[in-house]
Amino acid sequence: MNFYRSQILICGGTGCQSSGSIELVNTLKKEFKKHGIENEIEIVVTGCFGLCELGPVVIVYPEGVFYSRVEVKDIPELVEEQFVKGRILKRLVYHESMDEDKVRSLTDVEFFKKQRRVALRNCGVINPECIDEYLAFDGYKALEKILFEMTPDDVIQIMKEAGLRGRGGAGFPVFMKWQFAKNAIGDEKYVVCNADEGDPGAFMDRSILEGDPHSVIEAMAIAGFAIGSNQGYIYVRAEYPIAVKRLCIAINQAKEYGILGKNIFGTDFSFDLDIRLGAGAFVCGEETALLNSVEGKRGTPRPKPPFPANKGLFAKPTILNNVETFANIPIIILKGPEWFAEIGTEKSHGTKVFALGGKTNNTGLVEIPMGTTLREIVYDIGGGIPNGKKFKAAQTGGPSGGCIPAEHLDTPIDYDSLQQIGSIMGSGGLIIMDEDNCMVDIARFFMDFIVDESCGKCTPCRVGTKRMLEMLERITQGKGEEGDIERLEHLAYEIRDASLCGLGQTAPNPVLSTIRYFRDEYEAHIRDKKCPAGVCQALLSYVILKDKCKACGICAKKCPVNCISGKPKTPYEIDQDQCIKCGTCMEACPFGAIIKA
């Protein structure tokens, strides 16, 4: 084993890789060599730290200096200062993490202060491609503990006392599913991990798989022991190449170490794992559709009952849990159910990971104790709304969820309270919208997604959502009619009640919640033919402000359809009938004399 005087952690999550973190690693290696210090400093490529907005993120230990948005051209200077001269390169330090001249501990930085890392405990801390690092952080100790000290019933009892609920969206108690599957009769049973992450604006599960794949593997083996299964499947989206690669590495390492396979730790418990790739179908996140897909079939849902716990994969008893649900399990076993139950609110224990995106200053991955308010997430962790704009709504639960308006910013986040205000916890997508976002357009966006993704098996979902989309499109194009809102609501309830699976049953939620809180915006589109947020192109017009126009003619030259005319010294004018609303003139005007109205 080598001893290093310093460690440099570089985020290798998808976000930071997109901003060039891998080139950084290569350049670092070269620079270290140049100074002859390559054996003194360890480079660790980790999973996501959470602050993707500031990527690529680099942390140097033992000092704990947090550098953000580091570029290749900064590396020579960084190496020279930080590692050769031993001085902090202030210009690159994330400003929040410095207090005067002192480095603040990361846990004191606003973004991290209110977070509590349980499921993400190892993400950004260990090298996910190295099982030894996981082992050094108590990895596979939970599996060892249950194999030698517990019965399957003990394990299920721990899940019950901890009160762990599924993190994939519905919040179903983990122990119940496991109990059903344990009691079910079958010569073979299966453990399946849902890593299909279908919410179009979310990446929590992906980050866990990229940053800490072993914790999911360990938890699946624990589940296998609890229900009496020897075979697990992880169903991952094919769109997640880095996650798939790290999972494969992790599974192979675990097999080499004898942690997966026959007679684990010399006991008579055997457990094996295989990966199955999704192929781009949102409905496959639904558990029965997912099972069909693992079986190599079209991913259409099955009617329930029978429930998977009795008749699941290959018609055998099966449990299915989400990635984040699994990631919580090893630490619950090690620290005990009481420890876990103390985090969060009375009915929702533990933490929840959210992919915070959209209009906040900090975006990225956040993990908060249940019961944290939306306000704390948006303003304390997220750093507020950029450009002095006003908060308008937060979207949770993706296409199955809803929009939460400003009046509910102080709602503590847990399964039940979110449901009460017309949204759902969902799997963890959390998109913040400001006054420039049109709520009718957002409803249309999600309905468009659903129409695309409806598997077509049942009529209410296949045909009903299409009709809803057509109505929404009409409204955003200024062709809405009196009574459309009521028609939308009526159809929404029918689809909700009559669809076969969760996709259709929840598909109307974004529409219903935006009507509930932003009815006036729908009315403005329908009655006044106006889009208050200025998003819906068909309802906009560009006008030239007479008192600001200097008659320079630049707008007329730039207009692609030549619909702006004017003479020197008199203000120019736009022919509204010919205008295609491309906005080129507004961008071109050097005096800000053209506005959207």
Partner 1 sequence: MSQAVKTELEENYQQLIEIIDKHKGERGALIPVLHEAQELFGYLPLEVQEVISDGLGVPLTEVYGVVTFYSQFSLTKKGEYKIDVCLGTACYVRGSQAILDRILKELDIGIGDTTEDGIFTVNATRCIGACGLAPVLMINGEAYGRLVEDDIPGIIEKYKS
Q: Which of 117, 121, 167, 444 binds ligand FMN (CB under 6 A)?
A: 167
Binding residue count for ligand FMN, defined by CB under 6 A = 22
CA pair distance 318, 235, nearest whole angstrom: 14
CB of 193 to ligand FMN, least distance (A): 9
Residue 414 binds to ligand FMN (criterion: CB under 6 A): no
Contact 367, 331 (CB under 8 A): no
Please say whether the beta carbons of 70 and 92 come within 8 A: yes
CB closer to partner 1, 17 vs 417: 17
Q: Pick out residues in 269-308 that bind ligand FMN (CB under 6 A).
A: 283, 285-287
Residues that bind partner 1 (CB under 8 A): 13-15, 17-19, 51-55, 198-203, 206-207, 238-241, 276-281, 293-300, 314, 355, 357-359, 363-364, 395, 398, 429, 431, 433, 437, 442, 445, 455
From the list ligand FMN, partner 1, none, pick the one residue 287 interacts with, judged by a Cβ distance below 5 to 8 Å according to partner type.
ligand FMN
The residue whose two tokens read 């008893």 is: 317
Question: 186 in helix, strand or coil?
Answer: coil
Residue 295: which of ligand FMN, partner 1, none does it interact with, CB under 5 to 8 A by kind? partner 1
Q: Which does 169 bind (CB under 5 to 8 A by kind): partner 1, ligand FMN, none?
A: ligand FMN
Which of ligand FMN, partner 1, none binds 201 (CB below 5-8 Å, type-dependent)?
partner 1
Which residues, 6+ apart, have CB-to-CB distance to 207 below 8 Å? 13, 14, 47, 48, 120, 123, 353, 355, 365
Q: Which does 170 bind (CB under 5 to 8 A by kind): partner 1, ligand FMN, none?
A: ligand FMN
Min separation Cβ 16 and partner 1, Å: 9
Select the span of 160-168, 270-278, 377-385, 404-412 touching ligand FMN (CB under 6 A).
160-168
Supply φ then ψ for residue 542, to 5 degrees. Answer: -100, 130
Between residues 255 and 546, which has the closer beta carbon with respect to partner 1? Answer: 255
Q: How far apart are CA 470 and CA 452, in angstroms?
A: 13
Is 426 a residue that touches ligand FMN (CB under 6 A)? no
Q: Which of 169, 308, 364, 460 binds ligand FMN (CB under 6 A)?
A: 169
User: Residue with structure tokens 């020197």?
Assistant: 568
Q: Which of partner 1, ligand FMN, none interacts with 46 (beta carbon under 5 to 8 A by kind)? A: none
Give the one entry of ligand FMN, partner 1, none that residue 581 binds, where binding means its C-beta sits below a cut-off of 5 to 8 angstroms depending on kind: none
- Kind of pairing, strands 231-236 and 272-277? parallel
Q: Which one of 95-103, 161-169, 238-246, 355-363 is the stretch in contact with ligand FMN (CB under 6 A)?
A: 161-169
- The nearer residue to ligand FMN, 301 or 371, going by C-beta atoms, is 301
If phi > 0 it is left, if psi is from -120 to 50 it is alpha, else beta; for residue 250 that is: alpha
Asked whether the beta carbons of 299 and 284 are under 8 A apart, the reply is yes
Closest CA to 243 of 202, 204, 198, 213: 213
Give the pairing type, strands 402-405 and 102-103: unpaired
Q: Which of 147, 170, 582, 586 binds ligand FMN (CB under 6 A)?
A: 170
CA distance 433 to 54: 20
CA torsion sign, 253 to 258 to 260 to 262?
A: positive
390 CB burial (10 A radius; 0-12, 13-18, 19+): exposed
The dihedrals phi and psi of 324, each to the nearest 5 degrees, come to -65, -35
Structure tokens at 446: 């999600």
201 vs 358: CA distance, rounded Å: 9
Residue 168 within binding range of ligand FMN, rule CB under 6 A:
yes
Q: Which does 167 bind (CB under 5 to 8 A by kind): ligand FMN, partner 1, none?
A: ligand FMN
Sorted by sequence, the CB contacts under 8 Å of residue 442 that are 6+ apart come out as: 395, 403, 433, 510, 514
207 is a contact residue toward ligand FMN (CB under 6 A): no
Residue 468-507 contact track with ligand FMN, rule CB under 6 A, x = bound: ---------------------------------xxx----
Site for ligand FMN in 311-340 (CB under 6 A): 320-322, 325
Q: Which is nearer to ligand FMN, 284 or 368 (CB)?
A: 284
Applying CB under 6 A, the residues found at the interface with ligand FMN are: 166-170, 172, 194, 196-198, 283, 285-287, 320-322, 325, 427, 501-503
